[in-house]
Amino acid sequence: MYSLYREPGVLLWRGFTMQEFANQCFGNNIGHGKGRQMPIHYGSKKLNYITISSPLATQLPQAVGMAYSLKMDKKDACVVAFFGDGTTSEGDFHAALNFAAVMDAPVVFICRNNGWAISTQVTEQFRSDGVVVKGQAYGIPSIRVDGNDALAVYNVVRSARETAINEQRPILIEAMTYRVSHHSTSDDSTKYRSKDVIEYWNTVHSPITRLRNWVERKGWWSDKEESELRIHTMKQVKHAIDEAEKEEMPLLRDMFTDVYDDLPSNLMEQETLVRETIQRHPKDFPKDMPL
């Protein structure tokens, strides 16, 4: 799995615990990143989920390389790479698709087209008919799906995975959806779009509401079960946060470990300089910093 910022559900489904999410966000000593990554940049070697990188499209050429290695080793598996519509304006996206097509790499590209790259809407990003035609232009079988229809997405992804593995070739999926929230905590999306549009997508066309209505009509869900689930989940989240806050911060030396088997001289020098800086300016650093 090569993800971006909006796919924690994949990790949750695979078994990443609420506590592991909280530990990473707080950057404590037992978090998988040991405080060296931004919050929500999750990763899990155990779950085959490559740690998220901040720059857009970085993960796409890497995903193709990983998929080609699976092909060379004759593995019965494929790679899945997630990205947004804004990512398709990056050069790495085009390089990745071209390599995947030429090398027949078993990779499923899933583009989450939510209409916005921060405050830039898709009509200002490109002139093509969405993203699906970009895959076709590189000779990659591509399909567009209603990204707010959970059942449709499930069926399309399942079929794409089977094709990628059985036929050893790349597939591109464009899931059409809408970003109802602000891009980030520093963004106020009401400055560049209507509140009425946001409300429409958040209620009438919400994928959660649509799926809930369907399972309720089947008799598989109810208001009582919904309420119980929300209460239980909130308790889980609060407990995970409380536990994550209690954990110690990573040791200073962890800033330099886990890359090389034997620490090279330049990193040793950097660690020495950091420690000397802390000793010279103790007031500029937390008193409880584990050294």
Catalytic residues, by residue number, are: 179, 183, 192
Q: Alpha-carbon distance 235 to 228, whole Å?
A: 11
Side-chain half-sphere exposure of 4, counting CA atoms within 13 A: 17
Q: Alpha-carbon distance 18 to 23, whole Å?
A: 9
Q: Alpha-carbon distance 167 to 107, whole Å?
A: 11
Q: Which amino acid is at 193?
A: R
Is 56 strand, coil or helix? coil
What region, left, alpha or beta, does residue 17 occupy, with left being phi > 0 and alpha being psi -120 to 50 degrees?
Answer: beta
- In the chain the beta strands, taken as DSSP E runs, fall at 79-84, 107-113, 116-117, 120-121, 142-146, 171-176
Q: Which amino acid is at 169?
A: R
The structure tokens listed for 113 are 């087209």
Contact status, residue 132 vs residue 172, Cβ threshold 8 Å: yes
Residues contacting residue 40 through CB under 8 Å, at least 6 positions apart: 5, 8, 24, 25, 52
Side-chain half-sphere exposure of 36, counting CA atoms within 13 A: 16
Q: Alpha-carbon distance 119 to 96, whole Å?
A: 25
What region, left, alpha or beta, does residue 82 occupy, with left being phi > 0 and alpha being psi -120 to 50 degrees?
Answer: beta
